[in-house]
């Protein structure tokens, strides 16, 4: 395993989430130069050429987009797999796989496989976001787990701690408001599947070009979700407001249940509360692969390494692919998944002494190009592998951000899995003109009422 120790380049690599960063001697001028991309990734490819140099990513829609009715057509449709990893040859590629990936190959040797395609460093963001990241680099800090002096761009493009890497994932840029309907499937050990249709509105306060942490009272992002189907869960919803101060998160969590006319404040919705409609396969902090405060964990920045991870997963977004085609009995259809060799930051997370969490140990693998979490290995109280998470994304080239299109949680101990975020059979993502005043507990109750009262099917 080739492990590139970050301490060689950027200072001490071992730190905990609560550790305040000292005055940082980071060279923000290096961002966007010949060595580092504007987001802090290495510009150069790897030594043997299997990872190419970054050339700016996808900054314009390809010709196929005009005829795709708003769907993200695949700019790499002509690519063919370089090789396929199976249980039979997994040892040959062990250094490029996480323990969880190797466990999936071993658990389903007849069906699970990983088609590895040429690496396409497609990530890009708008120039204003790059400029904001450069401004953040020398001044953003974590003070007793609280983010300070950051706006719009990733706060730590040259990270020195595990917490800084995960904060970059939390605050990677996306459009200010998104409106998305998607379907989530839970698949039992015998292959039987049940589904929930979900509606999500997100306001990414932090991404605004004029964002100010103090004026925003530390609010980073507002997320409202409701279940539309099945009918008995219709209108059940949550409002989660992410904040720079972890202690403020619990003050801004609401839920509305069947029969409710108003939303109820539920401080315990954070962290390891089971997510609605997930049948216990996902917690609220596994939303978006990881969502919300980090202060229950001690975070160690292990370093950077090359790994085979999901990326450019346009086939999983294709409207021609029905859900029944995507969903296999134990995992997603391997004929539709795409993996690439990428450089990732490795962050090890263990629950702090005296703190409880359903997942006492996690290991995160974060893509250097866009700070997207790609893989998470989750361990139980005996430090045995329990779950494997994968985030399949595509580059939304018309808006220059990375869009998750299928996120999985594989439970190795129960042989079940969950996939959420699929919208092949739904209306495409919309970007409505809503402001922060549309994302309160009253809005949560009001918008979900038609489903709770049976007014929609």
Structure tokens at 310: 């999901």
**Length of the chain measured in residues:** 457
pLDDT at residue number 24:
59
> Band of the pLDDT at 25, cuts 50, 70, 90?
low
In Å, how far are 33, 46, 332, 430 from 446, measured between CA atoms?
Answer: 49, 52, 35, 20
For tokens 């009995």, name the residue: 329
- Model pTM? 0.93
Q: How far is CA 60 from the centre of its chain?
A: 23
Q: pLDDT per residue over 322-337, tens digit each?
A: 999 999 999 999 999 9
Q: Is 143 helix (H, G, I), strand (E, B) or coil?
A: strand
For tokens 């808006």, name the residue: 399
pLDDT at residue number 377:
98
Q: Average pLDDT for residues 241-265, to the nearest whole number?
A: 94
pLDDT at residue number 193:
97
Is 50 exceeded by the pLDDT of residue 23?
A: no
**In this structure, are residues 154 and 133 in contact, taking their beta carbons and an 8 Å threshold?**
yes
**How many Cβ atoms sit within 10 Å of the Cβ of residue 138?**
15
pLDDT at residue number 456:
44
For tokens 């395993």, name the residue: 1
pLDDT at residue number 1:
38
Pairwise CA distance, residues 376 & 361, whole Å? 10
Is 50 exceeded by the pLDDT of residue 4?
A: no
Q: pLDDT per residue over 260-315, tens digit each?
A: 999 999 998 989 999 988 999 999 999 999 999 999 999 999 999 999 999 999 99
The CA R_g of the chain, rounded to the nearest whole Å, is: 21
List for the chain the helix, strand, coil content (%; round to 5): 20, 30, 50
Q: Average pLDDT for residues 39-55, to the nearest whole number?
A: 97
In Å, how far are 143, 180, 190, 344, 346 from 5, measured between CA atoms?
Answer: 25, 39, 43, 12, 10
Domain boundaries, the chain: 3-194+279-429
Q: pLDDT per residue over 78-136, tens digit each?
A: 999 999 999 999 999 999 999 999 999 999 999 999 999 999 999 999 999 999 999 99
pLDDT at residue number 9:
39
């Amino acid at each position: 395993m080739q492990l590139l120790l970050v301490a060689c380049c950027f200072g001490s690599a071992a730190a905990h989430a609560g550790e305040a960063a000292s005055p940082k001697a980071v060279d923000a001028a290096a961002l966007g130069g010949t060595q580092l991309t504007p987001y802090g990734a290495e510009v150069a490819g790897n030594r043997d050429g299997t990872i190419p140099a970054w050339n700016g990513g996808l900054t314009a829609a390809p010709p196929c987009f005009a005829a795709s009715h708003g769907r993200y057509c695949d700019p790499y449709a002509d690519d063919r797999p370089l090789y396929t990893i199976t249980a039979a040859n997994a040892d040959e590629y062990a250094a490029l796989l996480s323990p969880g990936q190797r466990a999936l190959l071993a658990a389903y040797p007849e069906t699970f496989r990983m088609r590895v395609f040429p690496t396409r460093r497609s990530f890009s963001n708008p120039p204003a976001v790059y400029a904001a990241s450069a401004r953040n680099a020398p001044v953003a800090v974590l003070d007793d787990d609280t983010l300070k002096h950051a706006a719009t761009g990733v706060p730590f493009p040259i990270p020195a701690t595990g917490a800084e890497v995960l904060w970059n994932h939390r605050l990677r840029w996306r459009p200010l408001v998104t409106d998305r309907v998607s379907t989530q499937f839970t698949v039992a050990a015998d292959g039987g599947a049940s589904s929930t249709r979900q509606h999500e509105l997100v306001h990414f306060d932090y991404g605004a070009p004029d964002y100010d942490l103090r004026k925003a009272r530390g609010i980073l992002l507002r997320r409202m979700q409701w279940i539309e189907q099945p009918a008995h869960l219709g209108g059940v919803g949550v409002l989660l407001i992410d904040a720079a101060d972890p202690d403020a998160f619990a003050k801004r969590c609401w839920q509305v249940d069947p029969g409710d006319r108003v939303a109820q404040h539920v401080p315990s919705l954070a962290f390891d509360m089971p997510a609605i409609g997930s049948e216990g396969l996902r917690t609220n902090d596994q939303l978006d692969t990881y969502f919300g405060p980090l202060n229950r964990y001690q975070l160690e920045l292990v370093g950077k390494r090359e790994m085979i991870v999901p990326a450019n997963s346009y086939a999983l977004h294709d409207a021609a692919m029905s859900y029944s085609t995507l969903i296999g009995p134990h995992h997603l259809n391997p004929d539709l998944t795409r993996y690439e060799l990428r450089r990732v930051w490795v962050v090890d997370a263990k629950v702090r002494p005296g703190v409880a969490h359903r997942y006492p140990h996690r290991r995160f693998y974060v893509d250097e190009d866009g700070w997207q979490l790609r893989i998470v290995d989750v361990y139980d109280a005996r430090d045995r592998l329990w779950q494997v998470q994968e985030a399949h994304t595509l580059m939304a080239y018309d808006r220059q951000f990375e869009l998750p299109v299928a996120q999985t949680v594989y439970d190795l101990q129960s042989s079940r899995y969950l996939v959420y975020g699929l919208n092949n059979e739904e209306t495409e993502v919309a970007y409505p003109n809503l402001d922060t005043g549309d994302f309160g507990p009253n809005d949560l109750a009001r918008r979900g009422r038609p489903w709770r009262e049976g007014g929609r099917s």
